[in-house]
Amino acid sequence: MKILALVAESRLPNNDEMYKAMQSYADVEVVKVDKAKQKKLKRMFKNLEVDQYDRVILDLHFKRIVTQARFIRTIPKLAILEEDACQNYIESSKWFGKFLPFYKKLNDFRLICTSVTLAERFRSEGIDAYFIEKGYDQNHLKNLCGDRDIALGFIGRTASKTYSKRNELLMGLEQRYGLQLIRTEPGKAYLMMLNRINIFISADIGLGEYMVKNFEAMACGCLVVAYRQGDEEDAMGLKDMENIVLYRDKRELIEKLEALQQNPSVAKEIAKKGQALAEANHGFNVLAKRLYCCLEKEFTTKTTSKSWLRGMLPF
């Protein structure tokens, strides 16, 4: 199978290593697309011989393609890899209610999203949706087995309106327990910081899925304490107090934190099993095969070559 992947340039976190790993299963050509070209896909596609590919993946920023449904619906054998589709159902997000109408405008395509619950919800709306969880770069992020001098830490944004509930909880933990709220540059600085954190506090409240930071922190040997997402845990292999620590509310979080601080050997064992889970199930090397299998499933295609040609003509 020959696959064309159009990938947003400088996207963080990026999926480059996953596409490299997919080369073991298919002929994958990755084309990096800058901001300007993302906004004008029709012009870009004039220089692509799309008929030579069995699948076309759009791994681009939603905000830059949402106004281009009329053209995108003409792309045959299309798959959209979207890691932020949960915002369709988050009322505090500027993209609340925007993803589904966009998808409804498209012709036959396959949506690949990062929540099993979300995939089921989109399927109930008539979208051909599949679930593949978020993964991490196993070649870069790993446990360096050094000293961990940060007892409680979180790395990432807290100021976004979309993550207001996350910010509220983290700020409370900062004041009461000395949680360190950290921002780092990607790459080595991020790796080194994760390896300094003993307990990584994850607060993906109201998102309905597990963000990639959970698995990155696990892979680097942190004990991850995460907000319970409902039906996601079984699909992810997450088991409370075995390879992760889960909580439903602030009270349960505090109770478990205090218990773990009194039993460091238990905390260490959970972190160890969490690392093993991340390495076995959530690296890009593993997700590459899952993505290939998802793309391999037959598409029901209504788009004809004539409609494709019409898409290349002026509106």
Name the strand (E) or helix (H) holding 232: helix 232-236
Task: Read off the pTM.
Answer: 0.88
CB distance 280 to 309 below 8 Å: no
pLDDT, one tens digit per residue, over 230-251 is 889 998 999 999 999 999 999 9
**Residue from 247, 253, 184 nearest 220 by CA:** 184
Angle at 184 between CA 131 and CA 281, to 5 degrees: 30
**Residue from 103, 77, 82 nearest 7 by CA:** 82
Q: What is the pLDDT of residue 85?
A: 92
**Taking 80 as the threshold, does the pLDDT of residue 214 lie above it?**
yes
The domains found in the chain, sorted by start residue, are 2-135+286-311 (3.40.50.2000), 150-282 (3.40.50.2000)
More confident residue, 34 or 14: 34
**Residue from 87, 75, 28, 1 nearest 284 by CA:** 28
